[in-house]
Amino acid sequence: LEFVLATHNAHKVAEFQRIIGERMPQAVVVSYDGPEPVEDGVTFAANALIKARTAAAHTGRVALADDSGIVVDVLGEAPGILSARWAGHRAGDEANRRLLLDQLSDIARPNRGAEFRCTIALVVPDPLIAGGSEFVAEGRWRGEITYEPRGSHGFGYDPVFEPDGLERTAAELLPEEKNAMSHRALAFVELLPELERVAAL
C-alpha cells in the first residue's frame, strides 16, 4: 500500500514514519506537497478530514492526515485545535509553550491536568472504493502541564507535558518510547484494521 501523508509538519512526518514502519512495514509513505487547504473546521476530526480530502483529490491516492493538539482542563479544553498557533500565527513552539505556562502560573497541581489528542483521517478516493470512503480515528494521551519545560526530544508542547504515570516529560522520552504510547500512536493503532482492509483492495 502506498499512501500520501498530508502534513507540512516535519516532526509529525518523522513520528508517523516510525509509527507506521513498526506496525505496517509494507506501507510506503509519500509526503504531500500540493496545495494546502484552509483548516476552518471547529473540531480535530473536521480539520483532519479537510486535509486528507484535499490530498486525496489532488493526488488520486489514499491519503492520511493528522490534526492534533493539547487540551488543558482548566482552560476549558483550549488551546485544542488552535495549539499550533496559540501565541500567534508565526510565533512558534517555544512561544506557544511560554504562553501556556503563563496562563497556568496561578494553577497548582493537581489542577494542571491536560491531554494530547490526535485525530487521523483516512480518505480513499474513487474509484479505489466506488464513491470514495472516509474513516476517522482518535487517540488521547493524559498527563499534566509541568511548571517549567524539560527535555529536548519531540516538538510542540512535549517539554511541558508529563504523561500520567511518568516522572519525565514527553520531551524527555526517547522517540521510540513516545511513539509506543502517544496520542498519535493510539490513533494509528485504531486505524490499522481499516488501513489493512484498504491495502488488501
Do 122 and 194 form a contact (C-beta atoms < 8 A)? yes
Residues forming a β-bridge with 66: 120
Chain centroid, CA 125 distance in Å: 22
Does 11 carry a binding-site annotation?
A: yes
Is 67 an interacting residue with respect to ligand ITT (CB under 6 A)? yes
126 is catalytic: no
Q: What one-letter code names the amino acid at 34?
A: G
Is 179 an interacting residue with respect to ligand ITT (CB under 6 A)? no
Is 16 an interacting residue with respect to ligand ITT (CB under 6 A)? no
Sheet containing strand 62-72, strands side by side: 28-31, 2-5, 62-72, 113-124, 133-145, 161-163
Is 54 an interacting residue with respect to ligand ITT (CB under 6 A)? no
Is 182 an interacting residue with respect to ligand ITT (CB under 6 A)? yes
What are the backbone angles phi and psi of residue 42, rounded to the nearest 5°?
Answer: -105, 5
Omega cis (within 30) before 79: yes
CB of 15 to ligand ITT, least distance (A): 7
Is 159 an interacting residue with respect to ligand ITT (CB under 6 A)? no
CB of 191 to ligand ITT, least distance (A): 16
* Distances from the Cα of 147 to the Cα of 42, 93, 150, 174, angstroms: 29, 16, 9, 21
The residue (of 3 and 157) whose beta carbon lies closer to ligand ITT is: 157
Question: Which one is catalytic: 33, 40, 66, 67?
Answer: 67
Q: Which residues in this chain contact ligand ITT in the complex, by CB under 6 A?
A: 7-9, 12, 66-70, 83-84, 93, 96, 116, 154-158, 182, 184
User: Which positions are annotated as active-site residues?
Assistant: 67
